[in-house]
Structure 1
Amino acid sequence: MKHTYIIGEIGQNHNGSVDIAKLIIELVARPVKESVFNLELEPMNAIKMTKRDLSEELTDSQMKRLYDSPNSFGKTYGEHRAFLELTNEDHYEVYKYAKSLNLDFVETLCSKGCLSLLKLFEPDILKVASRDLTNLPLLNSIAETKIPVILSTGMAGKRELDDALDIITKYHSNISILHCVSQYPTFPDNLNLNTILCLKKNYSQYKIGFSDHTIGISAPIVAIGMGAEIIEKHVTIDRFMKGTDQLGSLGPDGVNRMIRDIRIAERWMGKEELYIDECVKSAKIKLERSIASKYEMKAGHVIKEEDLHLLSPGDGYKWNQLLDIVGKTIIKDIPANEIIYPEYIA
């Protein structure tokens, strides 16, 4: 059965609080159940955090600009970003909590200075944000660690992706590529999920997945049907909490429904074969049609095609077995509109 690696992206939805980050982790780690078939389903596999070095983020003028927004945590954009930024030690605490709940930990490092985080712990995967596929010095530093890497293509075309791969593959090839559109939320006409097929065809040596910024949970389900092996989605404990990413994230119910539907969809995929499954055999017997009498026929009657039609159940002769019946002599009476079984004919 197919297995999809599901990442719950916390991003900045922790609002500068380790405790909120832990609550989100508890949310994605909780058991998921499908009630109709009583299935216990695997929860998310990983959570993702983002580490920034504010000295390597924006120009001084951008950091000092007034940030007058309902989602602002400071008077200037720099103050806002500083409020949201957790320390390396905070990230380590969140990492340990995720591991205690059997979740992998993915970390987006936004600049070379952020690699100081690796002195405290080693994430299972390092993520390169879409905007940094052209940040070749950062890519080189990340690749040198030889930690598995996920690349997101939200702002990248083929050239940018190929340049990034050229840098990383000098050190290792444990790379995954996520189709992504850096529009929040992504307008339906812009999603272009067929890019997944393009990536699978042209970058088949890597795992291909989908980082989703659409509203709802349908796009990830379609993506895994197209072969995506990784799904990433923003998650939060409250979509109406303060913050620019909250409304476009999945809340508790959405997280549960997305995981449920992905895990069920994995079971849907099955194998590339046309066959009659054991589970439909009873329905096949009940509903399929068999050759039956149009009217009462007495013993000694020689069966003609015009004596016959098709009725359920499907446990008798099929129409492709007509020659096994036509021309045969009936050895005991057959009532009208009944299946003709072998014991009725010579």
Structure 2
Amino acid sequence: MTYIIGEIGQNHNGSVDLAKLTIDLACRPIEEDLFQMELKPMDAVKLTKRDLSQELSKTQMDAPYTSQHSFGTTYGAHREVLELNDEEHFEIYKYAKNKGLDFVETLCAVGCLSIFKLFSPDFLKVASRDLTNLPLLAAMAETKVPIIISTGMADKAQLDDALDTITKYHSNISILHCVSQYPTRPENVNLNTIKYLQKHYSDYKIGYSDHTIGISTPLAAVAMGAEIIEKHITIDRRMKGTDQAGSLGPDGVNRMVRDIRLLEKSFGVEDIFMEPSVVQAKHKLERSIASNKLITKGSVISENDIHLLSPGDGFKWSQQGLVIGKTALVDINENEVIYQQDIS
């Protein structure tokens, strides 16, 4: 079954309560009304933990930030508003676990490992921009917590360097194809990278971290065998924040998870056969050999006397040799299916 991660990231806008509301969205029951099916909701939520002192230069911290999505007059002040402390991350972690969700944490600096004094996430996530941050990868891998990495800013050599660093400590690694364009243009998605990763990195789980608009691309990724799907989520796409508009709102979350779960049920087996549930429709709709005129008792039936009509519980056209040349034992009215008991 596909492991679906709802990426909250920093869509909580610096609010624990908003993060909890988003978790409520991620674990909301998913139902398919027509078939009265209750489907599995998201499996996990993900937050992002930063240590700005280990991430941004003084120039970046002090740079004016006048975007409509800014929470501060400088970029550093903006980022600080969006940051939650370790205790707040722990509170959100406990809330997610109580709701039956796994908790994934993106750590953006070695200093962020301070959360381990309070809790251990189910997975650690390496952001695309940090795939080349080998000291961070080593520190994260040393915890032995399973690691998910995104390839959005990496080539093969950089991916291999990251894997070499992590596997010195453990090999519980998942690789997500990703394109770090927000939102990602359709022609840049290149879902066939999933096939490449499956072929060349078969020791690892392969998935897809999506930044496209809508839900069609993650569905296609699942159809291609992606075992993990990660997608930004929010309780309101109109809220202030750079990721809100490109995230899935409540209806989008419901539709994506519903359609992934239904798609999973649709794969079946590699064979061709008739489902038992189709038998009734087959009998009703398929064609059988029938009379195209009145065939009187004692008449020898010829090809000129027959055609095909529903229902499909009589002779098929491939069985016409069982009908042509036979004698009618009863009068067979025009446009009636010819059955075995009607002929000699």
Distance 1:162 1:142 in 2: 17
Query: Which residue number in structure 2 is paired with residue 32 of structure 1?
Result: 30
1:160 aligns with 2:158: yes
1:335 aligns with 2:343: no
1:297 aligns with 2:295: yes
Query: Which residue number in structure 2 is paired with residue 270 of structure 1?
Result: 268
Distance 1:272 1:179 in 2: 26
Structure 2's unaligned 5+ residue stretches are none
Shift of 1:221: 1.1
- Corresponding residue SS for 2:209: strand
Distance 2:284 2:157 in 1: 58
Query: Which residue number in structure 2 is paired with residue 23 of structure 1?
Result: 21
94, 97, 113: which one aligns with 2:92: 94
Q: Partner amino acid for 1:218?
A: S
Shift of 1:140: 1.2
The range that moved more, 298-307 or 144-153, is 298-307
Distance 2:161 2:319 in 1: 63
Distance 2:174 2:235 in 1: 28
236, 239, 255: which one aligns with 2:237: 239
1:122-181: CA deviation from partner (whole Å, max 9, x where unpaired): 000010111111111111111111111111111112111111111222222211111111
Distance 1:76 1:340 in 2: 85
Query: Which residue number in structure 1 is paired with residue 203 of structure 2?
Result: 205
- Corresponding residue SS for 2:174: strand
**What is the correspondence of 1:76-87 to structure 2 with a 5 Å cutoff?**
76-87=74-85
1:258 aligns with 2:256: yes
Distance 2:309 2:243 in 1: 59
1:26-48: CA deviation from partner (whole Å, max 9, x where unpaired): 11111111111111111111000
The range that moved more, 94-103 or 23-32, is 23-32
- Corresponding residue SS for 1:233: strand
Distance 1:312 1:163 in 2: 65
Please report the TM-score for the alignment, with normalisation by the length of structure 2.
0.98
Distance 1:284 1:109 in 2: 57
Q: How well do the aligned residues superpose, as a CA RMSD in angstroms?
A: 1.1
Distance 1:174 1:329 in 2: 73
Q: Partner amino acid for 1:186?
A: T
Query: Which residue number in structure 1 is paired with residue 322 of structure 2?
Result: 324
Distance 1:285 1:47 in 2: 48
Distance 2:285 2:29 in 1: 38
Structure 1's unaligned 5+ residue stretches are none
- Corresponding residue SS for 1:201: helix
Distance 1:171 1:315 in 2: 65
Distance 1:157 1:317 in 2: 62
Shift of 1:309: 1.1
1:38-73: CA deviation from partner (whole Å, max 9, x where unpaired): 111111110000111111111111111111111111
Runs of 4+ in 1 over 6 A off after TM superposition: none
Distance 1:162 1:330 in 2: 77
- Corresponding residue SS for 1:186: coil
Distance 2:69 2:104 in 1: 26
**What is the correspondence of 1:175-190 to structure 2 with a 5 Å cutoff?**
175-190=173-188
Distance 1:302 1:168 in 2: 82
Query: Which residue number in structure 1 is paired with residue 342 of structure 2?
Result: 344
